[in-house]
Structure 1
């Protein structure tokens, strides 16, 4: 009984520490980035090549599709900050992050086609051409994002 009384403070300390550790379990570190990086496309998707991805009218058509289907979760600038994206178990992807910038056009097309988690597959909702238009528009968003970064760096000098 004496040993148990002496061990109580130690057991309390250990128990408190374990509770503290458990509370951090629900705080995801870079969760959105990790989720986009964990969503890998099959290697064959890299061989898919879209038509007219730099054509201004194709990009504009992609913007229209994006505004109609994607903006609510992915946001106006493609950063994954759309109003319907908050609170989703798998956060919407950020098209301006380094991982997505380095993905192939075919990988993006495949992801739009198949969907994952709360993102629906667009295979039967959008035509192949419309999905490629979205890819073209995403690349335009990425180019605009890179240009803003370059301007910011120039201003800081």
Structure 2
């Protein structure tokens, strides 16, 4: 209590700065974050692997193990771990995502950004294409929206 009597203005200023910093992080009316765009050349990337039931099953297995904690089991960006991140994980049902080329999705998966790690050193090229194939299937089989 002795500090309050001796430095009341300084403590008040420190308290206000702390509150301002805390409430700044709670703002919900911020504009949408800048869209993540792959380089134009990424659109030319094409899978050399067949898309067949096994490919989709392997992609789903990878997604559930490595991606669903942030992106959610149905790909709406609502995974438990994703809720604690500063930026919301991609919703794979969002038209801004679904209109991207397979090559752009492959590039993003390979290189990562922000909270999403790059997977080019984690997954083989084939596994990354399996994930892209599964994301495409996810868009056609999960019709409910959030």
Q: Give the structure-2-normalised TM-score.
A: 0.76
1:112 maps to what in 2? 109
Matched, 1:90 2:87: yes
Spell out structure 1 runs of 4+ moving beyond 2 A: 51-54
Higher helix share goes to which structure?
A: 1
Q: 1:67 aligns with which of 52, 64, 68?
A: 64
Q: Could you state the TM-score of these two structures normalised by the residue count of structure 1?
A: 0.71
2:60–2:134 Cα contact (<8 Å) kept? yes
Aligned pair partner of 1:76 in 73, 92, 96: 73
Q: In the TM superposition, what whole-angstrom CA distance separates every residue of 1:44-93 from its partner, at most 9, and x where no partner exists?
A: 00000013463111111100111111010001110100010002112110
CA RMSD of aligned residues (A): 2.3
* Alignment partner, residue 122 of structure 1: 119
Report matched runs for 1:3-22 at 5 Å: none
Distance 2:142 2:39 in 1: 27
Give 1:136's match in structure 2, choosing from 129, 133, 138: 133
Tell me which of 99, 103, 118 is aligned to 2:100. 103
Return the offset for 1:133.
0.3
Cα 1:51–1:143 change in 2 (3 A) is: farther
Map of 1:26 onto structure 2: 27
Structure 2 gaps of 5+ residues are 1-19
Larger radius of gyration: 1
Distance 1:28 1:64 in 2: 36
Which structure 1 segments of 5+ residues have no match?
1-18, 150-157
